[in-house]
Structure 1
Amino acid sequence: MTTSKNALTNNFSYLLHSNINHSEITLNASSPFHNPLFLQALEQQACVGANSGWQPHHIELPDHQLLFPSYLKSHSYGEYVFDWAWADAYQRYGLQYYPKLVTMQPFTPIGGQKHFGNALTDSAVSQLTDSVVDICQQQSLSSWHCNFIEQSFAEQLQSNGMMTRHGVQFEWHNQGYASFEDYVSRFTSRKRKTTNKERRVAISSVDEIVWRTGEDIDYQALEAFYLCYQTTYMKRGQKGYLSFGFFQQLAKQMGDNMLLVTAEKDQKIVASALFFFNQDNLYGRYWGCLQELDMLHFELCFYQGIEFAIAKGMQRFNPGTQGEHKLYRGFEPVTTYSSHYVARSDFSAAIKDFCLEEQRQIAQYAEQCKKLLPYKIQA
């Protein structure tokens, strides 16, 4: 390993052979995506690199035994912390916003740790911010973005001059529910009836809904899922970011952290949803269908996930980013955090003001969202 103050490496796979202590990385991972195998599969299956617009450019701090998976970006797709307006402002002034540097798990808007190695001491975070400034200056990068991080890390970065952005996601929290019926019993009568009707409509439209984990996610089921996944993107005139090889590799290496829910009709998989999980948390990630069946998206992506989380005693279910329709099904608003550095001081001042105003708007939005939740008002 290099001993320079900071270094960049373009291959995440080397972590598995470096002298960073990774023996407990998987055990202590904040999510299944905070796992060398997940990031390695993205690289090995060319979901990043090549012409993807995500060039591996990982930040290493040898003095602190830390590695931050990072990427040079030539666009802002697949990040879910939207900075298109910033890029447009640069363009209006005849400046280049891309490339920029992003620290996150690609295509994965999930909060949690964004580093491997030792704890994030104040000294380490100070060196990280110094390194980011140096890297942006040396490589003529417009900015650095560290997305979907823990609040404590955002506060450390802000203490070192970084700007903080807030966002909102919607999460389900387990209040010790014994069953799905126990869960919806906490709803108001009208919303409970609506939810139960949605489920009846969806379930009656197919012959069977199946859960698969581990070795049960076989080639045929994964192939059917991938067809659903790409078909749904094609309906919008797009192509899914992720390859079949990527999902194959994950099923082989991380299958025990994956849940594939399929809806089957006439002995054929017509819709599917892929989740990841660890002991306490479930994450909804990818959905697709061959037939548009009423309410089936809600059943597979939300209600089946809640049933699985209750059955396994999980505490939290993050079904994916965006979507106010999640509120009506009991997913509560939670604040997300990201940190940003903009190299040009003339733009940085304006963007800082924007971030502060955005934080106020996000706080108001979250309070408004709470009013749409289906739960009975507690006395």
Structure 2
Amino acid sequence: MSGWAVSLHTKIADIPVEDWDACAGADNPFISHAFLSAVEDSGSATPRTGWLPQYVELRDSDSRIVAVAPAYLKSHSYGEYVFDRGWAQAFENAGGTYYPKLQIAVPFSPVPGARLLVRPDAPADTRGALIQALAQVCEQLDLSSAHVTFCTSQEYESLSDRGWLPRLGMQYHWHNHGYDSFDAFLEALSSRKRKVLRRERRDANACGLDYRTYRGREITEALWDAFFRFYHATVDRKWGQAYLTRPFFSLLSERLGDKVVLMVAEHHGTPVAGALNLLGGDTLYGRNWGCVGEWPFLHFELCYYRAIDFAIEHGLARVEAGAQGEHKIQRGYLPALTFSAHFIRNTGFRNAVATFLEEERPAVMADAEALLAFSPYRKEN
């Protein structure tokens, strides 16, 4: 890579904040130095938990940092949301060693956005040089593979053009079509669906709960304590794993300020449920939620409808509610494709994965198209 200098860092603090954020931009909080440092400093994504940071830094011929990437050596496939455990098992059954692998991602966050972070004023070929650098890192560290997950469609195309294997996924997003109120959004729905949503909101707001929205430093340690209990309650119900530590949530509001939006339901002054969101340039990103007790339609109200209210009030373009849950469609969140790309070193294994993905991609696209038939929106004549 003549003219470029690549280095790896085991701490994001080794890369100056201003350089990282100049590459990352300000629109997506999940790729900011503040968020990634909170994940690392809180002990959530560390070598102990199977996430060894290998932040990639690319300098040009003038020794200026022109690109970075959030990369980790992974000893497992948890906390990624683009599932490759079947690939790992197949490769190891054939005598290969799948782990560690190189994961270019935001830990524990299936949020689409840039992963190949390039300064706007960088040389035109910088993204290509960064892609080459990632493959080179994979070769030099003798890794089985590298994976760029939940990247942008433009990155997906660039990676595919350079031989990485493209993969599609699906999430559910709500789009703001210039609504000036929640009722205006409801008017865009079919009559039957509109009645269902009104009934759900009425019942959720008639069970003695008070709803409050807190941002940044308004979120007290007591509120984070409560939310951490809710988070664990949800994980326990789903037989999942609590990836995020308690200090992570305090660091969020400390480092990201008003970009942290915590929606809380209280019963007689005591928090009983919470939904954590992060605010981007034009998007509200729904992340974690949890509750104690049984409350009718509380999940829909706190995670979906309150998020829509917030987006309309603040003139946001969309709400991203994450993966899974076809029930989101009836609440106005429609299927949206997500993108990832994979570099596989072993030729035979690469060919097998390529065949699998060639069959999977049209199936994902067909599923997304079929689910659109269940859209609650009125059909245009």
Q: TM-score range by the shorter chain?
A: over 0.9
Deviation larger for 127-136 or 251-260: 127-136
| Alignment TM-score, normalising by the size of structure 2 | 0.93
Alpha-carbon contact 2:38-2:248 (below 8 Å) kept: yes
Unaligned runs of 5+ in 2: none
2:248 is the counterpart of 1:251: no
In the TM superposition, residue 132 of structure 1 has moved relative to its aligned partner by 2.6
Alpha-carbon contact 1:263-1:271 (below 8 Å) kept: yes
Unaligned runs of 5+ in 1: none
Alpha-carbon contact 2:166-2:357 (below 8 Å) kept: yes
Residue in 2 aligned with 1:48?
A: 45
Tell me how far apart the structure 2 counterparts of residues 342 and 23 of structure 1 sit (CA, whole Å). 30
Residue in 2 aligned with 1:74?
A: 75
The residue identity in structure 2 corresponding to 1:75 is H
Alpha-carbon contact 2:69-2:116 (below 8 Å) kept: yes
Residue in 1 aligned with 2:109?
A: 108
Alpha-carbon contact 1:122-1:156 (below 8 Å) kept: no
The residue identity in structure 1 corresponding to 2:228 is Y
In the TM superposition, residue 371 of structure 1 has moved relative to its aligned partner by 0.5
Alpha-carbon contact 2:150-2:339 (below 8 Å) kept: yes
Tell me how far apart the structure 2 counterparts of residues 352 and 361 of structure 1 sit (CA, whole Å). 15
Tell me how far apart the structure 1 counterparts of residues 361 and 227 of structure 2 sit (CA, whole Å). 38
Residue in 1 aligned with 2:164?
A: 162
Residue in 2 aligned with 1:286?
A: 288
* Structure 1 residues 289-308: aligned runs within 5 Å: 289-308=291-310
Percent identity of equivalent pairs: 36
Residue in 2 aligned with 1:173?
A: 175
* Structure 1 residues 26-41: aligned runs within 5 Å: 28-41=25-38
The residue identity in structure 2 corresponding to 1:8 is L
Tell me how far apart the structure 2 counterparts of residues 173 and 187 of structure 1 sit (CA, whole Å). 13
Distance change in 2, residues 1:50/1:130 (3 Å): closer
CA RMSD of aligned residues (A): 1.9
The residue identity in structure 2 corresponding to 1:264 is E
Tell me how far apart the structure 2 counterparts of residues 347 and 276 of structure 1 sit (CA, whole Å). 38
Residue in 1 aligned with 2:365?
A: 363
Distance change in 2, residues 1:378/1:245 (3 Å): same
Q: For each residue in 1:146-170, what CA deviation from the matched residue of structure 2 results, as whole angstroms up to 9, or x when unmatched?
A: 0111111111111111111111111
In the TM superposition, residue 57 of structure 1 has moved relative to its aligned partner by 1.0
Tell me how far apart the structure 2 counterparts of residues 126 and 236 of structure 1 sit (CA, whole Å). 41
Alpha-carbon contact 1:66-1:117 (below 8 Å) kept: yes
Alpha-carbon contact 2:105-2:149 (below 8 Å) kept: yes
Residue in 2 aligned with 1:85?
A: 86
* Structure 1 residues 1-379: aligned runs within 5 Å: 5-16=5-16, 21-22=19-20, 24=22, 28-63=25-60, 65-119=66-120, 123-379=125-381
Tell me how far apart the structure 1 counterparts of residues 20 and 339 of structure 2 sit (CA, whole Å). 26
In the TM superposition, residue 196 of structure 1 has moved relative to its aligned partner by 1.0
2:49 partner SS:
coil
Distance change in 2, residues 1:243/1:292 (3 Å): same
Alpha-carbon contact 2:66-2:126 (below 8 Å) kept: no
Tell me how far apart the structure 1 counterparts of residues 188 and 247 of structure 2 sit (CA, whole Å). 42
Q: For each residue in 1:125-148, what CA deviation from the matched residue of structure 2 results, as whole angstroms up to 9, or x when unmatched?
A: 333333233322222211000011
The residue identity in structure 2 corresponding to 1:140 is D
Alpha-carbon contact 1:158-1:164 (below 8 Å) kept: yes
Alpha-carbon contact 1:30-1:113 (below 8 Å) kept: no
| Alignment TM-score, normalising by the size of structure 1 | 0.93
Alpha-carbon contact 2:20-2:68 (below 8 Å) kept: no
Count matched residues: 374
Tell me how far apart the structure 2 counterparts of residues 212 and 25 of structure 1 sit (CA, whole Å). 29
The residue identity in structure 1 corresponding to 2:32 is N
Tell me how far apart the structure 1 counterparts of residues 195 and 57 of structure 2 sit (CA, whole Å). 53
The residue identity in structure 1 corresponding to 2:213 is W
Alpha-carbon contact 2:12-2:37 (below 8 Å) kept: yes
